[in-house]
Amino acid sequence: MNLDIGTTAKRLRWAVWIFWAAIVLAYVFGRLGVETDFLRIRSRVDGSSDGPVMIVADVTILLLSVALYQLSRMLGAIAEGDLFSARVVGAFRAFAFWLLLIALVWIVAPIVGALLAGPGEARHIELTFQLRDVLTVGVALILFLVARLLERARTIDEEMREIV
């Protein structure tokens, strides 16, 4: 089956919306502690279900929502036929930026938490990197490179239209 790019972008956009809704609903249900006879959803980070770590998790879900919104904008523009437009490149760059911000929040949050610890709490700064965070930073940086490539493709496309 040979589908055009617009159709594929429309389908992918629907998949992003469904994924986004599922993630947000699961997280909200987990934060609320929703339980049924057959399903129990809890949101926890490292065994903790409250405190500053969960605030960071809340912020992460918010940032992920912004990133997925930007991805949805990009796919919508592609579905409308804009392959190399400034709108596509801008939304793609914004998606990469928000992904990078998510990873940086998880890297910097423990340091900020240690610095803001109350006087009665032990103050130590532990700099740890999880593979997830390092991979997210790497992927976001690669996406910035792809955004530059899209900008270059847009320039070439505009030059070709002037020639014809």
What is the 3-class SS of 26-91, one letter each residue?
Answer: HHHHHHHCCECCCCECCCCECCECCCHHHHHHHHHHHHHHHHHHHHHHHHHHHHCCCCCCHHHHHH
User: Is pLDDT of 147 > 80?
Assistant: yes
Weakest-pLDDT range from 59-63, 81-85, 130-134, 138-142: 130-134
Q: How confident is the model at residue 127 (pLDDT cuts 50, 70, 90)?
A: low
Q: Does residue 11 or residue 44 have the better pLDDT? A: 11
Q: Does residue 39 or residue 20 have the better pLDDT? A: 20
pLDDT tens by residue, 26-66: 888 877 777 766 666 665 555 555 566 678 888 889 999 99
Number of Cβ within 10 Å of residue 99's Cβ equals 24
Residue 2 has a pLDDT of 44
Q: What spatial distance separates the first Cα and last Cα of the chain, rounded to whole Å? A: 32
Residue 140 has a pLDDT of 87
Distance CA 155, CA 84 (A): 9
Polymer length of the chain: 164
Residue 1 has a pLDDT of 39
| pTM of the complete model | 0.75
Residue 49 has a pLDDT of 53
Weakest-pLDDT range from 18-27, 33-42, 80-89: 33-42
Q: How confident is the model at residue 134 (pLDDT cuts 50, 70, 90)?
A: confident
81: left (phi over 0), alpha (psi -120 to 50) or beta: left
Q: Does residue 139 or residue 2 have the better pLDDT? A: 139
Residues forming a β-bridge with 48: 45
